[in-house]
Amino acid sequence: MFDLIIQAYKKSENRILFLDYDGTLVSYTKMPSEANIGEDTFAILEQLSMDLKNSIFIISGRDMGFLERQFTGLNVNLIAEHGFRIKEIKKSWVILPNLSLKWKEDFKKFFQGFVSMMPGSFIEEKEASIAFHYRNIDKEVENKTLPFIKEKIKEMMTDKPDLEILDGNKVVEIKKTAYNKGTMAATILKRAPYDFILAAGDDVTDETLFRELKNNAFTIKIGSGNTLAKYRIDEPKKLMTFLSELINVA
């Protein structure tokens, strides 16, 4: 199924790969802090990054500290919080300018009101966004309460057109509309004439990436659900198997 990608990879001279983290390079865990990169995955990325034809960007919703810890020693570029920050190889972190974050406190207080009501849920506060995780709550509680939460969020956002809600995999996140994975990728692609572009991701945040790349890239959706991606892989392990094949044909 992926023969076309492999052949294009083999023939290309200037490649770029955009890879999401959770649900793509690693499987989901009960707690985000437990989703550490495995040795095999690290080794595959290391080999890919050693190829001078490759530029690898880990493009994730994770914060910069987490990504630095996971990818220390790898020759890869890091994009944190859906494009809010970027750290290129041998450079410092760069932040998007002129973005007010005063709005975060209202949503933090809102989510705090539900944490005690929904055992297993918790708040993740990032530098430029706030997220409410509900992966570990009772299914009946989720079905009963979550629609109410999402409706209230929409009401809170009626006078805030510069904010958006990301309805991810068992997480609701609020961030500015000024940036996303797609806009960040578009900015990077303007720098050089890449003859091979690959993007892989698993949830709604990655759809902005797939949409931006359109017909100019090989896009891969990890898991089920509607997608704009051209290809689909069941799980992270199978993606890593595929990426290891690229190493062998280079």
Backbone region of residue 106 per phi and psi (left: phi > 0; alpha: psi in -120 to 50; beta: other values)? alpha
* CA atoms of 248 and 245, how far apart (whole Å): 5
For the chain, list the strands marked E by DSSP.
Answer: 15-19, 54-59, 77-80, 85-87, 94-95, 122-125, 130-133, 163-167, 171-176, 196-201, 218-222, 231-233
Alpha helices, DSSP H only, in 81-180?
A: 104-115, 139-156
The residue from 20, 22, 63, 203 that is catalytic is 20
- Token pair of 63 as six digits: 């914060």
How many Cβ atoms sit within 10 Å of the Cβ of residue 65? Answer: 11
What 28-34 contacts at long range (C-beta under 8 Å, 24+ apart), as own/partner pairs, is 28/135, 28/169, 28/170, 30/135, 30/136, 31/136, 32/62, 32/124, 32/133
Rg (CA), the chain: 18
Does the annotation mark 203 as catalytic?
Answer: no
Question: Closest by alpha carbon to 168, among 136, 121, 131?
Answer: 131
* CA atoms of 204 and 141, how far apart (whole Å): 23
Place of tokens 């990054």: 49
Instruction: Report phi then psi at 201, rounded to 5.
Output: -165, 170
Known catalytic residues are: 20
